[in-house]
Amino acid sequence: MNKENAITVKDLTKTFGAFTAVNNISFEVGRGEVFGFLGANGAGKTTAMKMLIGILKPTSGIATVANFDVISHAEDVKKSIGYMSQRFSLYNDLTIKENITFFGGIYGLKKTDIKVKTQELIEELGLHDEANKLVGALPLGWKQKVAFSVSLLHNPQIIFLDEPTGGVDPITRRQFWEMIYREAHKGKTIFVTTHYMDEAEYCDRVSIMVEGKIEALDTPKNLKTQYKVDTMNQVFLKLARNIE
């Protein structure tokens, strides 16, 4: 197995009764890559991601995440990854500081480390004045930035992001992507699941899932050339249309 691969997926399948949610998919994600995992609602991307983060057992196939097998070493997988989603990321009724301390504790950081990290993080995000404000009172964009930083607390090798910037204002969104690029630059692998195609444009490579299968996998640029269109949105529409 290639050591430089952060994620290796081979013939991964998940069935629920007669329904095949994920149908024999294979792909690799390199270390330091920003990988977009796209698909419509119900295309199977959530199921696939749950298998990769070790909370759902595949029906067949192999998947290695951070060099750990997702079936036999699910706990090690969980320790090596960070996760952030649009729907749940932070507790709205805790302050920024309390959230960081809480998640630091969950990830098993030492008390002294948590203190140092919290301070670092707040400085880095420029949230000094807001550190003791409830997260619920923050604009969405800031929340997402804090949530991303929190998912990095335990220094994971791979970060899974679920629709991280939907609805966020354009400028904060750019700052968010800069943060993502910085982490990728440091060698972390970023796995973004989304159905917003403009988020897809930011990824190094994207895969598009349609009805449980990966129908396309390449750089956004190559996909656009291949399908002779200007945007990822059009690529997606073409792929989905072909199926119908």
Partner 1 sequence: MGISVKNISKSYDKVMALKDISFEVKPGELFGLIGPDGAGKTTLFRILTTLLIADKGEATVAGYNVIKEYKSIRNHVGYMPGRFSLYQDLTVEENLNFFATIFGTTIQENYDLIKEIYVQIEPFKDRRAGKLSGGMKQKLALSCALIHKPKVLFLDEPTTGVDPVSRKEFWEMLKRLQKKGITILVSTPYMDEAALCDRIALIQNGNILEIDTPEVIKNSFPKTLFKVKAAETFKLIQDLGSYELTHSAYPFGEYIHFTSNNVDFNAKDLVQYLESNGHTDIEVNETAPTIEDTFMELSK
> CB of residue 242 vs partner 1: minimum separation in angstroms?
11
Name the residue nearer to partner 1 (CB basis): 228 or 241: 241
**Does an H or E element contain 98, and which?**
helix 96-106
> CB of residue 146 vs partner 1: minimum separation in angstroms?
15
Question: What residue ranges bind partner 1 (CB under 8 A)?
Answer: 40-42, 139-141, 166-172, 174, 177-178, 181-182, 184-185, 195-198, 201-202, 219-221, 231-233, 236-237, 240-241
Q: What is the DSSP string of 129-165?
A: GGTTSBGGGS-HHHHHHHHHHHHTTT--SEEEEESTT
> CB of residue 54 vs partner 1: minimum separation in angstroms?
26
Name the residue nearer to partner 1 (CB basis): 42 or 108: 42
CA distance 93 to 102: 12
122 three-class SS = helix
Rg over alpha carbons for the chain, rounded to the nearest Å, is 18
> CB of residue 169 vs partner 1: minimum separation in angstroms?
3
Q: Are 157 and 189 in contact (CB under 8 A)?
A: yes
CA distance 1 to 119: 39
**Four-residue CA torsion sign, 81, 40, 206, 141:** negative
> CB of residue 99 vs partner 1: minimum separation in angstroms?
19
> CB of residue 173 vs partner 1: minimum separation in angstroms?
8
**Does an H or E element contain 207, and which?**
strand 205-210
CA distance 221 to 211: 23
Name the residue nearer to partner 1 (CB basis): 111 or 182: 182
Name the residue nearer to partner 1 (CB basis): 126 or 139: 139
Name the residue nearer to partner 1 (CB basis): 66 or 223: 223
Name the residue nearer to partner 1 (CB basis): 40 or 71: 40
